[in-house]
Structure 1
Amino acid sequence: MGDVVALFMENSIDFFAIWLGLSKIGVVSAFINSNLKLEPLAHSINVSKCKSCITNINLLPMFKAAREKNLISDEIHVFLAGTQVDGRHRSLQQDLHLFSEDEPPVIDGLNFRSVLCYIYTSGTTGNPKPAVIKHFRYFWIAMGAGKAFGINKSDVVYITMPMYHSAAGIMGIGSLIAFGSTAVIRKKFSASNFWKDCVKYNVTATQYIGEICRYLLAANPCPEEKQHNVRLMWGNGLRGQIWKEFVGRFGIKKIGELYGSTEGNSNIVNVDNHVGACGFMPIYPHIGSLYPVRLIKVDRATGELERDKNGLCVPCVPGETGEMVGVIKEKDILLKFEGYVSEGDTAKKIYRDVFKHGDKVFASGDILHWDDLGYLYFVDRCGDTFRWKGENVSTTEVEGILQPVMDVEDATVYGVTVGKMEGRAGMAGIVVKDGTDVEKFIADITSRLTENLASYAIPVFIRLCKEVDRTGTFKLKKTDLQKQGYDLVACKGDPIYYWSAAEKSYKPLTDKMQQDIDTGVYDRI
């Protein structure tokens, strides 16, 4: 009991069945992002301390490529799931006849507080980290979302989001376990097939992130978008600007917007369809002080907490904006912060002496606005990650790929807003050495980025800076760079390149292309 097996798999029934089976014998499953390559893939596998890895024929080349570069130990055994095999690795499907048909014995010590799985999160600091998900936490999250939005055994839940994340992996698949509902699992989201699938399988509930909503609105109208029986869509990131248009066009009766993090101890939910809000917090001081979720003031430029003369944090009041935190209570199973596999990573996500001396809170790293009625609205992420195309991108991970390049003198990565698109696009500010052949340099970093990073983590913009400012402690200053974004005027003549997803290459940014990107005329980035 307690051994770890990495699951490097795409969405499938196998994914669900395998981790559920492993949990019955006390094995912890590490859910690996199926988009990862080379160093990021090796990091996720190695940090889990797994003994084996289960993958499928489609993803096996990525695993082998990392192993061939000696990034993954040869001691990690590889098994293939699914019917397709390569003749060299053991197939779980072909080995089924070797397994006993008897139910496994009850394992002493395996209980609700045992570790079920690791789900990776960048949080707001550094590389992806395996967050510890125990059996009770999985069940509590699945039950909480279902109860909040009325999911029941008669529902057919359509799952298009990646099952290695908590949204689909817990709240989506968890509805089967908690309520006995039926799931329709799609390998990847498809805007053109979304409503067709909903009609074909009589879907009644499905999940979203902001990008999915935008893709569906951008798709050409089809008859099925009016013929479906979807009554509920729940998730996070449906922006207030398109909320009414989305609900009106597709006839969705219930939108369940929520906010939370995989590893966090507190979540908020918008249960009454209030446009744009991701949750609610009581505005009355005496009730609010008892609530486990609070907002505290931070310096947006530095990310530092604001503290009063007594050294305590300054709580926000209605009408203000601040970082969301969750009060930690070690003896409360729901408010305890389980953290990550690494104790060091766990410690970084805890603030101390917040509301009183000696207390602790979970630091979400996310900035929310609290309106005068008590509704909460997501504003931005702080720290070393940004969100793009539904995935958290670690700036330190991307910087780690860029900095070893021969002609890079300095490099920093940050997220910038792009027109009406969701989240922030990655942008790299790079100082190149004098005499560098820029054309060759751009070609070299293109190869390095595409070989090592998932598509969503490749910087959308490259800015060749004359210099990058640092603080007195030598940390790179990103605030001004973020404000300037990819605006050619604000960047004062620095050459800027944009990523053409269609051509998989960087192109010089012109005034016309900047305008097209700003207005959404060009969105192939």
Structure 2
Amino acid sequence: MTTRTVAAAGTVAELVQRRWGDRRTGLRSRGTVLTYHDVAAGAAARAALLVELLPRGAEPHLGVLLDNTPEYPLWLGAAALAGAAVAGINPTRRGAELARDIVHTECRVLVTQRAYLPLLEGLALPDVRVLVTDTDAYGALLAPYEGAKPGEAVVRPVGPASRMLLYFTSGSTGAPKAAICSQGRLAVAGASLVTQLGVRRDDVHYICMPMFHGNAVIADWAPALVAGAGVALRERFSASGFLPDVREFGATYFTYVGRAVQYLLATPERPDDRAHGLRLGFGTEAGAVDTARFAERFGVRLVEGYGSSEGGAAIQRTPDTPRGATGRAAPGDALAVVDAETGEDCAPARFSEAGVLLNGAAAIGELVNKGRNPFEGYWRNPEAEAERRRAGWYWTGDLFYRDEAGFLYFAGRTDDRLRVDSENLAAAVIENILARWEDATGAAVYAVPDPVAGDLVMAALAMREGREFVPARFERFLRAQEDLGTKMPPRFVRVVRALPTTATNKIHRASLRRDAFVCDDPVWWRPTPTSGYEPLTPTSLTGLRTTYESQARAELIWR
């Protein structure tokens, strides 16, 4: 792998200042082209405005409720220069939840756009100054500060420990937590990815993941800023617009999370799928099957990485990483896979000659970092912080297994673990198998309560255009999978038009678990573990309810 050494920077503010006088193209979007000097100057002007707007004694926090417009990276740079922190506000949140995110992070300034003003109507946002970027009033407000230079206006002294980001967890399983990221950690993360991925000055980073999420800022914007690479913005991710954007902007690098790769693979194939300059994608949760499909179709290598959103653990992929593995622990990390109940290390993974995991129940556990780690805590959430730091370790909340050579394999989230007939299963392991079925574009696996005890396996399948769910075809596919354990086949299959996702393209399993098999979509089921699939009819559903009621477990499904 090509590596590049970059001059170290202690803060993001220093990285922005380095771009002063750089006349190369630094930022592009539809209708906008800015040099890096323009970017640094724009950030300096906004930093000066921010210093004027923030009340004395208030936390130097601003909320940013924007699509991926040029204003987003300009305000990131402004916050860095001023010694302030940006709370990325998720535009898919609504009402009290949206207000809670803004108030909880103590934002006294909120930067937004006209399209999102209806979301703010009627919300209790005391003492919050709202700036609307696509208005004449905003331009007039900025005008007096157009001559500002980087470093002239600060609200607090800037150093590596200065808070830079307050970015929320996805919120797919509960109220989102605002993780803290300092300027020093963001600068180090950007430099690390430049070296690891061989980012060059002549690269163009295409940012299509939402910038309120850590992935776009930490893995896309920050390494571009460190290397002096260009940045191209897409307001919102679009599978159909992906390749046209890549060609228009000359993009060479992008990041992804969740199901974005599946959405791209679901687009109609074209003869010119390889006619572009894209060379690398970096992200998580694409899976080995879709990674291979993406490389075959588009000629682009995807590097699957792992980094805890909060920064407590990282895994680096090396050239000798086996197929299906994520990589080894990053230097300095003392990672272990442990049984969450006992804290004991799990057994090393054993595989068949075909690469099938043979001892999943004993090998799969939670990934923890037993050594020093850069986790900087959650904003005003000591309970969640303590949960992450139990027994002096950092608990990632993610399931892994580890082979004898120390390579780690992702097995899902702790919340996505199923217990079937007293055996622990990981949803991600089953999903990776179902991803091979060519009739479907995506699969989500989750637990539904067993009528007696434990869980049953349920899967939601999004079918390819023009394909229907044919039970016999699905059953033949399942029988052909050598690594599908006897307790892994889904007992229920929900056929959906599209998998429900969070704003960051991660599967919203909470909604799937909540609906279980009582939903408006077609559901197929196997009345016994060995029978074939048949439609879940109203009569069958009534019989199931009677069974659950006889075990006093009906309230787990019919709430």
Deviations 1:306-329 (A, max 9, x none): 24xxxxx33543442211112343
1:327 equivalenced with 2:370 (yes/no): yes
**Per-residue deviation at 1:222?**
2.3
**Per-residue deviation at 1:370?**
1.5
| Alignment correspondent of 1:374 | 406
SS at match of 2:511: coil
| Alignment correspondent of 1:95 | 141
Residue range with higher mean Cα deviation, 121-130 or 260-269: 121-130
| Alignment correspondent of 1:212 | 260
| Alignment correspondent of 1:198 | 246
Q: 1:53 to 1:492 in 2, by over 3 A?
A: farther
Residue correspondence of structure 1 range 321-470 to structure 2 within 5 A: 321-329=364-372, 335-341=373-379, 342-352=381-391, 360-383=392-415, 420=435, 424=444, 459-460=511-512, 462-463=515-516
| Alignment correspondent of 2:62 | 5
**Per-residue deviation at 1:132?**
0.5
1:46 equivalenced with 2:99 (yes/no): no
**Per-residue deviation at 1:171?**
1.2
AA aligned opposite 1:462: D
SS at match of 2:241: helix
**Per-residue deviation at 1:210?**
4.6
**Per-residue deviation at 1:129?**
0.8
CA distance in 1, matches of 2:298, 2:199: 20
Deviations 1:330-381 (A, max 9, x none): xxxxx243110122221121120xxxxxxx1111111012134432221111
1:306 equivalenced with 2:342 (yes/no): yes
CA contact (8 A) 2:305 2:317 kept: yes
Return 5+ residue gaps in structure 2 as ranges: 1-57, 351-362, 419-426, 436-440, 450-501, 519-532, 544-559
CA distance in 2, matches of 1:487, 1:43: 45
CA distance in 2, matches of 1:374, 1:459: 35
Q: 1:2 to 1:463 in 2, by over 3 A?
A: closer
SS at match of 1:137: helix
**Per-residue deviation at 1:217?**
1.6
Q: TM-score, normalised by structure 1?
A: 0.66
| Alignment correspondent of 1:433 | none
CA contact (8 A) 1:415 1:426 kept: no
CA contact (8 A) 1:257 1:277 kept: no
Residue range with higher mean Cα deviation, 96-105 or 27-36: 96-105
1:297 equivalenced with 2:345 (yes/no): no
Count residues in correspondence: 386
1:24 equivalenced with 2:77 (yes/no): no
AA aligned opposite 1:98: P
AA aligned opposite 1:10: D
**Per-residue deviation at 1:264?**
3.0
CA distance in 1, matches of 2:402, 2:110: 44
Q: TM-score, normalised by structure 2?
A: 0.62
CA distance in 2, matches of 1:176, 1:324: 30
1:268 equivalenced with 2:307 (yes/no): no
**Per-residue deviation at 1:228?**
0.9
1:159 aligns with one of 207, 223, 235: 207
1:255 equivalenced with 2:281 (yes/no): no
**Per-residue deviation at 1:385?**
11
RMSD: 3.6
CA contact (8 A) 2:86 2:166 kept: yes
CA contact (8 A) 1:258 1:270 kept: yes
CA distance in 2, matches of 1:268, 1:250: 26
Q: 1:105 to 1:210 in 2, by over 3 A?
A: closer
1:78 equivalenced with 2:135 (yes/no): no
CA contact (8 A) 2:314 2:333 kept: no
**Per-residue deviation at 1:80?**
0.7
Q: 1:41 to 1:424 in 2, by over 3 A?
A: farther
CA distance in 1, matches of 2:155, 2:88: 23
CA distance in 2, matches of 1:415, 1:45: 33
SS at match of 1:459: helix
**Per-residue deviation at 1:463?**
4.5
**Per-residue deviation at 1:116?**
0.8
CA distance in 2, matches of 1:416, 1:424: 11
CA distance in 2, matches of 1:416, 1:35: 29
**Per-residue deviation at 1:487?**
9.2
CA distance in 2, matches of 1:370, 1:49: 41
**Per-residue deviation at 1:2?**
4.0
CA contact (8 A) 1:236 1:278 kept: no
Deviations 1:496-519 (A, max 9, x none): 9xxxxxxxxxxxxxxxxxxxxxxx
CA distance in 2, matches of 1:275, 1:495: 45
Q: 1:94 to 1:427 in 2, by over 3 A?
A: farther
2:229 aligns with one of 177, 181, 190: 181
1:226 aligns with one of 258, 274, 278: 274
CA contact (8 A) 1:428 1:459 kept: no
AA aligned opposite 2:141: D
Identity of aligned residues (%): 23
**Per-residue deviation at 1:122?**
4.7
CA contact (8 A) 1:123 1:385 kept: no
SS at match of 1:206: strand
CA contact (8 A) 1:5 1:54 kept: yes
